[in-house]
Structure 1
Amino acid sequence: MIRIKKDKDDQYSFVVTAKSGNSLLQSVPFASRKELDDAVKQLPPLVSKTNVFERQTSHDGKFHFTLKNQEGAVIGKSKPYSSEAGMENGITNLKNRISSLPSSEIS
């Protein structure tokens, strides 16, 4: 599921959640609903590419990934994972979740 939120500064963001309800990806803020909708529409073709995921390790040893659009701008970030394998599972779960969403949740 993709949940869309509007914050107090009139910026929009989305969260991709697993069937269990856990967050797989939190987007960056978007200035308009159109920008957010355009980013969401890019998700299915994006997640099929390997070069859009940037894997990172934080200073406290946690692992996370970012998802970048075709232009290289970050559009979302994962939650922290305690292991590299957990992070890789998160990427796989995100890919599977996006590809299994009905088009009505993406458009």
Structure 2
Amino acid sequence: MIRIKKDKDDQYSFVVTAKSGNSLLHSVPFASRKDLDDTVKQLRPLVSKTTVFERQTSHNGKFHFTLKNQNGAVIGMSKPYSSEAGMENGITNLRNRITSLDSSEIV
């Protein structure tokens, strides 16, 4: 599911969740709903590309990934994972979730 939120500063963001309800990706803020909607429409073809995922390790040894658009701008970030294998599983789960979404799962 993709949950869309509007914050107190009138910016929009989305969260991609697994069927279990766990968060897979938190987006960056978008200035308008149109920008967010355009980005959400790009997700399915985007996640099939390996170059859009940037894997990172934080200073405390946790692993996370960012998802970038075709221009290299960050769209969102994953939660921290305790292992590299967990992060890779997170990427796989995100890909599977986005490719299996239908329009009723975008709220």
TM class, shorter-length: over 0.9
Q: Runs of 5+ in structure 1 lacking a partner?
A: none
Q: AA paired with 1:91?
A: I
Displacement, 1:105? 3.9
Q: Could you say which residue in structure 1 is the equivalent of 2:100? A: 100
CA distance in 1, matches of 2:62, 2:30: 26
Q: Could you say which residue in structure 1 is the equivalent of 2:27? A: 27
Count, aligned residues: 106
Please give the secondary structure, in 1, of the residue aligned with 2:93: helix
Displacement, 1:104? 4.4
Please give the secondary structure, in 2, of the residue aligned with 1:48: coil
Q: Could you say which residue in structure 2 is the equivalent of 1:65? A: 65
Q: Could you say which residue in structure 2 is the equivalent of 1:55? A: 55
Q: Could you say which residue in structure 1 is the equivalent of 2:8? A: 8
Identity, % of aligned positions? 90
Q: Could you say which residue in structure 1 is the equivalent of 2:76? A: 76
CA distance in 1, matches of 2:48, 2:14: 19
CA distance in 2, matches of 1:103, 1:6: 19
Please give the secondary structure, in 1, of the residue aligned with 2:43: helix
Cα displacement string for residues 19-46 of structure 1 (whole angstroms, at most 9, x for unaligned residues): 0000000000000000000000000000
CA distance in 2, matches of 1:22, 1:103: 19
CA distance in 2, matches of 1:19, 1:40: 18
State the TM-score, normalizing by the size of structure 2.
0.97
State the TM-score, normalizing by the size of structure 1.
0.97
CA distance in 1, matches of 2:104, 2:83: 34
User: Displaced runs of 4+ in structure 1, greater than 2 A?
Assistant: 103-106
